[in-house]
Amino acid sequence: MRLLNILVICALVLAASAVYKIKFDSTLQAERVTRLGGELRRERDAIAVLRAEWARLDTPRRIQALAERHLALQPAEPMQFGDFDRLPPRPPAAVPPPSGDPIATLIAPFTAETTGSVPARTSQ
């Protein structure tokens, strides 16, 4: 009977230590979850701050002020814009492009003399 009592007491001590270990591990995990929640909250706050800063930096008024301050740009003149009917005709292809290359068929009609300029408007 004594042996049985000793075995039961040992089993109770082992069970108590197992319960204590589980409680200790769960407490550590709860602290870790709390710490990660705080880190997540800080990261979300940092993202919100960065988005607000991006919105401030991306405003057209600020970009316009920077362009006026740092670039020597002139206003666009109405004569700089043209219509498609004022474009010069496309020159004929000097060398037929190879049939197997689709990029060459797009590039071949353009020669060294071809430019993208629009002829000046003549007074009528």
| Average pLDDT by stretches of 10, the chain with 124 residues | 91 95 96 96 97 94 89 81 81 62 65 56 61
pLDDT of residue 49: 97
pLDDT of residue 27: 96
73 in a structural domain: no
Q: Could you give the dihedral angle defined by the CA atoms of residues 20, 26, 30 and 33, in that order, rounded to the nearest 10 degrees?
A: 150
Number of domains into which the chain is organized? 1
pLDDT of residue 99: 63
77 in a structural domain: no
63 in a structural domain: yes
Report the SS3 class of residue 47: helix
Predicted TM-score (pTM) above 0.75: no
pLDDT of residue 124: 54
Residue 95: DSSP 8-state: S
pLDDT of residue 88: 81
Residue 48 lies in domain:
19-67
30 in a structural domain: yes
